[in-house]
Chain A
């Protein structure tokens, strides 16, 4: 079972590194959107500092949302998804491997580039760590919950709007607590509550989302 997880994870990572332009897309999107705000609104430190947590979190969320398509689309189109479902291994484990690969390729780069964008947006030094930690706890949830939506819409042509409608309401709690944590940390207050909430949501998503995704994939395949 662990072997199946590892093999699928390494296959997806290998495939991603063979088409690098796709790999860079979410990261470039994230950086571009954040850098456009000072140009469009105001480059003054006071304005940017107020906007920073929201802008960075919204950009990260949209960047993950745009990359979700990649999660199952290719496997669905070339028939590999059928083979995964016909594997003697539990589908939940395989789903988890695919989501892990997705997070490593989209969420993790966002977490790593976030300090740079934070400084760029005048986020105080003491809040940079919180920004990274909130993204580290939040982006896996975005990938896990997004997988449920993708597995339901992968068979729909141009299912992008439908996907957003299904997924965005579920993303909102993560967005509120993530952005709020950075905001509160900028004012020098404790963010324990927000972090514990994000961690709890991550634990919940990690245990339930793969199950829901596996069921949704079976429904998609049965049509």
Chain B
């Protein structure tokens, strides 16, 4: 799909999204466009609807109004293609304590019908600082290390679009730097990302941002 100027390609687009939760309007008339190589931060106070927006974007939650388009087509029509190219990391760990690091990564990849040779997994684990932990049960790892398993999965899955809800949760300073460098590499490879965070994330590149107004449904760009 990539042509000579990857930044021109629209990956994800939303049209007049509206989200109501418990009779409270979180946001309305939210239209945004995300091109290849673009990184978008969703900002807003607690309860302003950041997680709801991300869940709507990845199709887990239905928008009350409006639609989400993947490469120009409604997500519900191209669900399979969209899910092959998108990866969602929520604030829950999705790691099984009884499985080892390696088994966790394998089962996450299996869910996406992907597989990776052991050498590649080792490289990814080394990159996220988990070298040598491949046959340790995940319940013996710290919560930061469990998040790092997810980062390794993110590297191996090679999705074009990353949607991340609070990716810096439980990570130490090096972990934060790791996520920043992963985002930069992802961007250079023509990938895009949408994320929320309450930690300061400093990326040495242009970064768009959308601010969700608390309860007002207002939107500032």
Contact = CB atoms under 8 A, between A and B. Distances in A.
A89 B111 CA distance: 8
Contacts of B110: 3-4, 7-8, 11
Contact of A87 (B93, B95, B113): B113
Given A79-B90, A79-B92, A88-B80, A7 B62 contact: no
Contact of B94 (A11, A78, A88, A221): A78
Contacts, number: 76
A31 interface: no
Interface stretch (B81-89, B116-124, B190-198): B81-89
Interface string B60-101: 111000000000000000011101101110111111101100
Contacts of A15: 96, 98-99
A177 B124 CA distance: 55
Contact of B108 (A83, A85, A222, A223): A83
A19 interface: yes
A192 interface: no
Contacts of B113: 3-4, 87-89
Contacts of B79: 88
Interface string A64-107: 00000000001001111011111111000010000000000000
Contacts of B55: 221-222
B99 A87 contact: no
Nearest to A219: B62
Given A14-B103, A87-B83, A88-B83, A8 B111 contact: yes
B58 interface: yes
Given A78-B94, A82-B94, A88-B80, A11 B107 contact: yes
Contacts of A80: 94, 96
A83 B62 contact: no
A80 B94 CA distance: 5
B26 to A, nearest CB: 14
Contacts of B112: 87-88
A133 to B, nearest CB: 34
Contacts of A21: none
A86 B103 contact: no
A141 B93 CA distance: 32
Nearest to A85: B60
Contacts of B88: 82-83, 86
B67 to A, nearest CB: 15
Contact of B96 (A3, A78, A87): A78
Nearest to A222: B61
A84 B111 contact: yes
Contacts of A84: 111
A158 interface: no
B59 interface: yes
A77 B112 CA distance: 20
Of A18, A74, A79, A221, most B-chain CB atoms within 10 Å:
A79
Residue with the highest number of chain A CB atoms closer than 10 Å, among B59, B84, B103, B107:
B107
B99 A14 contact: yes
Contacts of B103: 11, 14
A222 B61 CA distance: 4
Nearest to B114: A88
3 tightest A-B CB contacts, nearest first: A79-B92, A7-B110, A18-B98
Interface of A: 3-4, 7-8, 11, 14-15, 18-19, 74, 77-80, 82-89, 94, 221-223
29 contacts: A3-B113, A4-B111, A8-B110, A8-B111, A11-B107, A14-B99, A14-B103, A15-B96, A15-B98, A15-B99, A77-B92, A78-B95, A78-B96, A79-B90, A79-B91, A80-B96, A82-B60, A82-B94, A83-B94, A83-B108, A83-B111, A86-B87, A88-B80, A88-B112, A94-B111, A222-B60, A222-B61, A222-B62, A223-B61
Given A19-B98, A221-B61, 5 more contacts: A79-B94, A80-B96, A82-B88, A84-B111, A86-B87
